[in-house]
Structure 1
Amino acid sequence: MAPRTVRTVLGDVPPAELGVCNAHDHLFFGSPRLPGQELRDAGAATAELTAFGAAGGGSVAQWTPYGLGRRAADLPPLARAAGVHVVAATGLHQAVHYAPEVLDRLRGRLAEVFVSELTEGLATSGVRAGFIKVAGGFHALDAHARWTMTAAAEAHHATGAPVAVHLELGTGALDVLDLLCGELGVAPSSVILGHLNRAPDPVVHRQAAESGAYLAFDGPSRANHATDWRMPDAVRDLADAGFGDRLLLGGDTTTAGARSVNGGPGMPYLLRRVRPRLELALGSELVKQILTANPQRAFAVGWT
């Protein structure tokens, strides 16, 4: 059996090398839903990642999937310059983020694209993805979500790569688990559920954790969601129930205005403000586990 490693943009590394991990964020991202706020500036991305490293960060998982401006060729020099590991994503977001002709070109070969990006590289860059990102809908899974998750499951079975899921406003977690793990046979321990802080339902959180999936609380920079002020209670409840080993934290910076280099909270906010607040509620040892040991397991794969 191959040793478990994390596939970063600079190559496979032992999980312990990730250090303190921002388990969900974006260095580059562009969508027609956010005109004028695209993350395209390589200099700003380098400055943001460097600031995260200066705050004690060791790695970032970039959840930007296929077709949304990943700028794969820029990721290795950026990671080297900042001294921070970057794990890139393959996958596909909700249909609203793409022109219809882009989706049409992927019909019948989506799983093949995912596998190629995990094993050979993103486009012609040679930079290999380390996980698959897909997305659900608001309290439901539409045909697009089922198509992308079916392809993600195929790619997972072919490679072992973890599957990270954008939950629209934090909803639909149990439907996602029913599809990915129930119908499609993905091990729950290979599933990361994102944005659970946006729908702070303790019953759903508990049921999702009981499945064995990872639960990501990953949007502290978004003031319009129930993030910082409710996150400590939600995380503490899960930890007290015995699920401290299933929790992840991230920043999810998706617009230029949210970057710290542009006056927003940005990536450093996770360590500058969220970490000490959680340490008050949970204790430093549990927070250290959530930021280090948990993501090291969540993103580690015995690549096939």
Structure 2
Amino acid sequence: MVTPRPASAPGHRTAPAGPTVRTVLGDLAPDRLGVCDAHDHLFLSSPQLPGQELADTAAAGAELHAFRAAGGTAVIQWTPYGMGRHAAELPRLARESGVTIVAATGLHQAAHYGPGVLEGLPTDPAALFVTELTEGIGAITGDDPEPRPRAGMIKVAGGFHGLDRHARRTMTAAAEAHRATGAAIGIHLELGTGALDVLDLLCGELAVPPDRVILGHLNRSPDPAVHRMAAEAGAYLAFDGPSRANHGTDWRMPDAVAALCDAGFADRILLGGDTTTAAARAVNGGPGMRYLLRRLRPRLELAVGTAAVTRMLTTNPARAFAAEWP
């Protein structure tokens, strides 16, 4: 069992009482999160996306300013360990843009790492996750101008219609880190599949409360029965990402969201943009982070009403990402 050290993060904002959202500038009362992109990336690098790295700090800042101009106030960056998070840049970007940023710890699928990265990890990565959640991301150096930003969530990944050995290892570590910190666990579902297998493992075998699990990419597999079963289990369902080739995407999302709302599960839905390539940035002609608010929000409002969509963008993420941190 991993036990976190007592958290004293000099330089971070004093935490309010009760559950808080852990941002790169400190802990924040959930009701201050505002309009939230619940799954996106400011920085990302993967062997699976050669030449499309999100590594340009100026472009990341431009995305945040465009998102802010569209009415957004918070972004949850799901980029985990070893994938070019640029964590040291996040506090400055948050201050300059006025957008709250939450960083992630965790691990993606093995295919997203170059040679030697995973081999250099401890046998049980739970200790790494806890350290990044409670003490900070990155190495401590004597000339750091400010404390290391802490992660505010755990991101792990399933496989296509199943869980391989790597997925089970990382989810087991995520469950242990959750027990030590209370952090929410976000799941990359490959093409939106395997949601029920993930819940069987995390919430069944590993006893993670379902309301601490966020299932990502459900818009990529618009299966209403699976959506309904996952919502009934108590998990959060993230519909995240603009239109992609070969996916059931934006044009089916309003129907999927409406079906969940009609069944009484509007409080389980999160919305995000999931920008993963340089070409997808607005500064490069792509949809960018602002697409969530400029294009998806009005389409969803036609389907389920303004009040429900506002709840998905504000109340739901505030509750989903808040934790009673140690």
- Regarding TM over 0.5, the answer is yes
Structure 1 counterpart of 2:38, from 3, 23, 34: 23
Q: Is the Cα–Cα contact under 8 Å of residues 167 and 173 in structure 1 kept in the other structure?
A: yes
**AA paired with 1:62?**
Q
**CA distance in structure 2 between the partners assigned to 1:161 and 1:241 by the alignment:** 28
- Counterpart position of 1:211: 233
Secondary structure at 1:215 match in 2: strand
1:167 aligns with 2:186: no
Structure 1 counterpart of 2:54, from 28, 31, 39: 39
**CA distance in structure 2 between the partners assigned to 1:272 and 1:222 by the alignment:** 17
**CA distance in structure 2 between the partners assigned to 1:182 and 1:66 by the alignment:** 26
| Superimposed CA distance per residue, residues 244-271 of structure 1 (whole angstroms, 9 cap, x where no aligned partner) | 0000000000000000111100100000
**CA distance in structure 2 between the partners assigned to 1:15 and 1:220 by the alignment:** 26
Structure 2 counterpart of 1:106, from 116, 121, 128: 121
| Superimposed CA distance per residue, residues 222-248 of structure 1 (whole angstroms, 9 cap, x where no aligned partner) | 354222100000000001001000000
Structure 2 counterpart of 1:180, from 202, 212, 231: 202
1:287 aligns with 2:302: no
TM-superposed CA distance for 1:100, in Å, is 4.3
1:83 aligns with 2:105: no
| Superimposed CA distance per residue, residues 175-221 of structure 1 (whole angstroms, 9 cap, x where no aligned partner) | 00000000001000000000000000000000000010000000124
TM-superposed CA distance for 1:99, in Å, is 2.8
Structure 2 counterpart of 1:63, from 68, 78, 101: 78
Structure 2 counterpart of 1:201, from 223, 227, 231: 223
Runs of 4+ aligned structure 1 residues displaced above 4 Å come to: none
**AA paired with 1:253?**
T
**AA paired with 1:273?**
R
Structure 1 counterpart of 2:108, from 65, 78, 93: 93
Describe the shift of the 1:221–1:77 C-alpha distance in structure 2 as closer, same or farther (beyond 3 A): farther
**CA distance in structure 1 between the partners assigned to 2:123 and 2:283 by the alignment:** 41
**AA paired with 2:40?**
D
1:299 aligns with 2:321: yes
Secondary structure at 1:106 match in 2: coil
**CA distance in structure 2 between the partners assigned to 1:106 and 1:162 by the alignment:** 22
Q: 220-229 vs 65-74, which deviates more?
A: 220-229
**CA distance in structure 2 between the partners assigned to 1:183 and 1:58 by the alignment:** 36
**CA distance in structure 1 between the partners assigned to 2:22 and 2:183 by the alignment:** 9
- Counterpart position of 1:122: 137
Secondary structure at 2:187 match in 1: strand
Q: Give me the TM-score of the superposition, normalised by structure 2.
A: 0.92
| Superimposed CA distance per residue, residues 130-180 of structure 1 (whole angstroms, 9 cap, x where no aligned partner) | 000000000000000000000000000000000000000000000000000
**AA paired with 1:111?**
A
1:146 aligns with 2:171: no
Q: Is the Cα–Cα contact under 8 Å of residues 15 and 300 in structure 1 kept in the other structure?
A: yes
Q: Is the Cα–Cα contact under 8 Å of residues 221 and 258 in structure 1 kept in the other structure?
A: no
- Counterpart position of 1:53: 68
| Superimposed CA distance per residue, residues 31-67 of structure 1 (whole angstroms, 9 cap, x where no aligned partner) | 0111110000000000001100110001000000000
**CA distance in structure 1 between the partners assigned to 2:37 and 2:64 by the alignment:** 11
| Superimposed CA distance per residue, residues 90-127 of structure 1 (whole angstroms, 9 cap, x where no aligned partner) | 00000001134211221323000000000000113611
The answer for unaligned runs of 5 or more in structure 2 is 1-16, 140-146
**CA distance in structure 2 between the partners assigned to 1:138 and 1:20 by the alignment:** 31
**CA distance in structure 2 between the partners assigned to 1:13 and 1:37 by the alignment:** 33
**CA distance in structure 1 between the partners assigned to 2:255 and 2:243 by the alignment:** 18
Secondary structure at 1:216 match in 2: strand
Secondary structure at 2:264 match in 1: helix
Higher helix share: 1
